[in-house]
Structure 1
Amino acid sequence: MKTSHRMLAAGLAVLTTAALTSCGSDSGPAADGTVTLSFLIDNGASTTARAKGLADAFMRANPKIKIETETRPGGTEGDNLIKTRLSTGEMSDVFWYNSGSLLQALNPAQTMVDLTGDPVLADVQKEYLPAVTQGGKVYGVPSGSMSGGGILYNRKVYDQLGLQVPRTWAEFMANNDRIKAAGITPVISTFKDTWTSQLLLLSDYYNVQAAVPAFARDYTANKAKFATTPAARAGFDHLAEVHAKGYLNDGFGSATAEQGMKLLVEGKGAHYAMTSSQIPPLVATMPQAATDVGFFGVPGADAAKNGATVWEPPGVYIAKTTEHLDAAKKFLAFIASPAGTDAISKAVQPAGPYRVNGAKLPDNAIQAAKDLQAYLDKGATASALEFVSPVKGPSLEQITVAVGSGLTPPAEGAAQYDKDVDKQAKQLGLPGW
């Protein structure tokens, strides 16, 4: 992101506000025993709605603890703000941030409260813990629902053509042939928003893990590569194949994610490699998205090993500089409880199940979330690679655009990505690189 005087001024304004807020809350409890916690979140609409729902419900149950929420920008600007505030000791008591590979860059051992073995984690599913763990220590709790990464599909198109949800890649391609023959776009791609080009590859990770269970560990240790691991390279092959078969929408190179979701919901396109998190924001203006769009995992080579990749929820963390540790832990324990997930569901439709024991999807949950729940119930999910390995190269979305547009052969794209992650791993100082 380009730096400008306006952005710098805005960043300083936020820091100043944070400092004033900290000064107001670091003096200890008020005369009436009330404690004020500062809570930093990103300014996305769904995040602010979830945070408000959580804070309001928590304060009703804990009238002696007040939650003051402040927002920060998203993207690179927000990442830099988080790092600056942690390094200068000006962080809010509690903050909302990514889980997975981005957590390592925050140096949690020096900046966050270690929650390993703490009762705060009592209801957190063990499958989530690797996403908020660094150096064997756990630092966060899940702040919402997981989302499925795979294929969003139009259920009405499937009903109209008598199609079944595919369990292998060959079955998926056969469905695409039927859909194309019916005059409907089989596979939607939206490469103007370059981040969307990664989803078919990243969502294939369940199949990588099923075929090569040690891949994440060996990849992190520089003992496995995309280009030389057939199961991992398959994602690049899939990108190239759907383009070569003519399955993509006209103008896919200039289409946006918003346009892609519209094509899918309206049934003008049948499949879209995407996460289920894109559906809830549409429900207000396109209510049919809740029922007409389903989800299935990227099919692999073996129907018996069919499953789905999941994107873990962001985390909520406690800054080491907090002077209200007991209150902060009480807030995190609420977030990671069935009562907390109920508060979130009342504020925002969940994109998938929660990583909290005892939490349930609401009766009016979107169909894609119910579909993902079915994978979870049968134990057929795997966290995306970025949640189990800190290694992710910065240029993947440019590489997948080129492969998915037929400009770069898939083998070459995989080799390019291996070089890309090499630079990133060395910057992180990972052993073996």
Structure 2
Amino acid sequence: MNSTRIRRVLLAGVGVAALAVPLAACGSSGGNADGKVEITFLTGNTGTNVEVAEALIAAFEKENPDISVKLETQPAGTEGDNLIKTKLSTGEMSDVFYYNSGSLFQALNPDQNLVALDDQPWVDDLIDTMKDVVSTDKGIYGAPFGATQAGAVVYNKKIYADLGLQIPTTWDEFAANNEKIKAAGITPVIQTYGDTWTSQLFVLGDFGNVLAQDADWASDYTAGERKYVDEPALQGFENQQEGFDAGWWNEDYASAVYDDGARMVATGEGAHYPILTGIVSTFQQNYPDELDNIGVFALPAKKAEDTKLTVWLPNAVYIPRTTEGDKLEAAKTFVAFINSPGGCEIQTTVMVPSGPFATSACALPDDVPGLLTDMQPYFDEGNTNPALEFLSPIKGPNLENITVEVGSGIRSAKDGAALYDEDVKKQAQQLGLDGW
């Protein structure tokens, strides 16, 4: 799912106590006329990327006066992907660059093109889920930039308190809660198919549970050996069909859009909204007085022990192998600063966090909405798994249309899953993957 759809708003300026990161004395290699080592940092030109990069560079240069960082930008999306690959192949990549983690990172041929960072002290602070999406069997190559977000169930805490409900850890408990909510005259589950992408959460947000039941599912899926039409992956489609059949949706589910879903769960018109936690920025902007009434929990699996929070990991920063000598040491120092408490404080000042950080070196500010702090126990207890797109390059283009049909009673869960298996088959063949 494209996380750039999630709105971000700027927070008011906050004083930043930048953390000093020492650098060993540099020689002349890579230096400029002032005797400084100059490195370049490439980031995307969308959203708050440029603003946070400028703030990080300013703080970093203040603490490291012997290094200067020149900011470079490029477009996002497919054009940006192609530029990244071209620069790596021609040896013209910036000294540090910002790019996707997960399957798109793997497509960069990291063992050949990137500097392994296993020996860096910040690596030990990464959560295992983050390590998985920036590494190969030969090393860890990326450092997280930004916070996580999750595909989960955003819910209204006041409704839960008024009806005496408990957070469900199994699907049966979730279904029982929905029936009590429905009996109280409140919409149990909000769906917003006017924005078709939002219909995918029952499937995409359930993947952490799939991986809990079958640890090899993603790799076997990429090899053509797993299908959505089979359990445990079928469960996401079945859950969505059950919701429609049980009458849990809002009456205007077919035309309602993302902003409607945010309003409904914030004001208590509906109890649950399966969505990305990046929605917190919409709540902060449009419903600040309701923030204390909004929480989040993982989409429940059939069994409590399989219920995991499905996490979209942040993008990362990387160093290409063409960065050498004093520039390499300076680049490593800059990457370490980004993943220091001082660097994280700058990031949370400019960007609205959509979840906990992927490193224990960084903590959410004390004043973040409860929706975000509700996510932290899943991270602390190791109850997270990455979304499938971080583990496999295969995602068919028609999933959002298929889940609209399943969620509207037009197509059964089994038929929807079978159709999606055909959808991804075409893409896997286009990618030239074995087994398809």
Q: Decide which moves more: 77-86 or 129-138.
A: 77-86
Deviation sequence 1:183-239 (CA, Å, 0-9, x none): 3322222223332222221111222122223322322332221112x2210001112
Q: CA–CA distance in 1 between the matches of 2:70 and 2:159?
A: 46
Native 8 Å contact 1:243 1:406 kept in 2? yes
Native 8 Å contact 2:178 2:248 kept in 1? yes
Deviation sequence 1:76-124 (CA, Å, 0-9, x none): 4443443444445444332222211222333434543333445563433
Partner of 2:251: 250
User: Residues 171 and 28 from structure 1, CA distance in 2 versus in 1: closer, same or farther, beyond 3 angstroms?
Assistant: same
User: Residues 86 and 227 from structure 1, CA distance in 2 versus in 1: closer, same or farther, beyond 3 angstroms?
Assistant: same
Q: CA–CA distance in 2 between the matches of 1:400 and 1:341?
A: 37
Correspondence list, 1:54-203, <5 A: 54-119=56-121, 121-134=123-136, 136-203=138-205
Partner of 2:207: 205
Deviation sequence 1:112-153 (CA, Å, 0-9, x none): 333344556343333311111246443211112222221011
User: Residues 87 and 416 from structure 1, CA distance in 2 versus in 1: closer, same or farther, beyond 3 angstroms?
Assistant: farther
Native 8 Å contact 1:101 1:392 kept in 2? no
Partner of 1:402: 405
Partner of 1:239: 240
One-letter amino acid of the structure 2 residue matched with residue 368 of structure 1 = L
Partner of 1:362: 365
User: Residues 409 and 359 from structure 1, CA distance in 2 versus in 1: closer, same or farther, beyond 3 angstroms?
Assistant: same
One-letter amino acid of the structure 2 residue matched with residue 421 of structure 1 = V
Q: Decide which moves more: 119-128 or 266-275.
A: 119-128
Matched-pair identity in %: 47
Partner of 1:391: 394
- TM-score, normalised to structure 2, is 0.84
User: Residues 199 and 76 from structure 1, CA distance in 2 versus in 1: closer, same or farther, beyond 3 angstroms?
Assistant: farther
User: Residues 294 and 218 from structure 1, CA distance in 2 versus in 1: closer, same or farther, beyond 3 angstroms?
Assistant: same
User: Residues 424 and 346 from structure 1, CA distance in 2 versus in 1: closer, same or farther, beyond 3 angstroms?
Assistant: same
One-letter amino acid of the structure 1 residue matched with residue 203 of structure 2 = L
3-state SS of paired residue (1:283): helix
3-state SS of paired residue (1:364): coil
Native 8 Å contact 2:262 2:282 kept in 1? no
Unpaired stretches in structure 1, ≥5 consecutive residues: 1-26
- Report the alpha carbon displacement of residue 380 of structure 1 after superposing the two structures with TM: 1.7
Q: CA–CA distance in 1 between the matches of 2:254 and 2:79?
A: 27
- TM-score, normalised to structure 1, is 0.84
Partner of 1:42: 44
Partner of 1:353: 356
Q: Decide which moves more: 257-266 or 200-209.
A: 257-266
One-letter amino acid of the structure 1 residue matched with residue 215 of structure 2 = P
- Report the alpha carbon displacement of residue 31 of structure 1 after superposing the two structures with TM: 1.5
Does structure 1 residue 217 correspond to structure 2 residue 187?
no
Deviation sequence 1:34-68 (CA, Å, 0-9, x none): 33433333344344444344333322222233333
Q: CA–CA distance in 2 between the matches of 1:157 and 1:47?
A: 37
User: Residues 138 and 357 from structure 1, CA distance in 2 versus in 1: closer, same or farther, beyond 3 angstroms?
Assistant: same
Q: Decide which moves more: 72-81 or 123-132.
A: 72-81
3-state SS of paired residue (1:151): strand
Q: How many residues were matched structurally?
A: 406
3-state SS of paired residue (1:243): helix
Q: CA–CA distance in 1 between the matches of 2:87 and 2:290?
A: 39
Does structure 1 residue 336 correspond to structure 2 residue 359?
no
Q: CA–CA distance in 2 between the matches of 1:269 and 1:79?
A: 39
Q: Decide which moves more: 66-75 or 362-371.
A: 66-75
One-letter amino acid of the structure 1 residue matched with residue 71 of structure 2 = T
Q: CA–CA distance in 2 between the matches of 1:38 and 1:259?
A: 42
User: Residues 59 and 107 from structure 1, CA distance in 2 versus in 1: closer, same or farther, beyond 3 angstroms?
Assistant: same
User: Residues 37 and 292 from structure 1, CA distance in 2 versus in 1: closer, same or farther, beyond 3 angstroms?
Assistant: farther
Native 8 Å contact 1:34 1:66 kept in 2? yes
Q: CA–CA distance in 1 between the matches of 2:30 and 2:196?
A: 47
**CA RMSD, 1 decimal:** 2.6
One-letter amino acid of the structure 2 residue matched with residue 194 of structure 1 = T
Partner of 2:13: none
User: Residues 38 and 269 from structure 1, CA distance in 2 versus in 1: closer, same or farther, beyond 3 angstroms?
Assistant: farther
3-state SS of paired residue (2:128): coil
Unpaired stretches in structure 2, ≥5 consecutive residues: 1-28
Native 8 Å contact 2:129 2:385 kept in 1? no
- Report the alpha carbon displacement of residue 423 of structure 1 after superposing the two structures with TM: 2.9
- Report the alpha carbon displacement of residue 378 of structure 1 after superposing the two structures with TM: 2.1
User: Residues 126 and 300 from structure 1, CA distance in 2 versus in 1: closer, same or farther, beyond 3 angstroms?
Assistant: closer
Q: Decide which moves more: 44-53 or 142-151.
A: 44-53
Native 8 Å contact 2:357 2:363 kept in 1? yes
Native 8 Å contact 1:279 1:289 kept in 2? no
2:229 to 227, 230, 250: 227
Partner of 2:25: none
Q: CA–CA distance in 2 between the matches of 1:71 and 1:390?
A: 25
Q: CA–CA distance in 1 between the matches of 2:286 and 2:72?
A: 28
Q: CA–CA distance in 1 between the matches of 2:78 and 2:269?
A: 34
One-letter amino acid of the structure 2 residue matched with residue 176 of structure 1 = N
Native 8 Å contact 1:155 1:293 kept in 2? yes
Q: CA–CA distance in 2 between the matches of 1:340 and 1:167?
A: 35
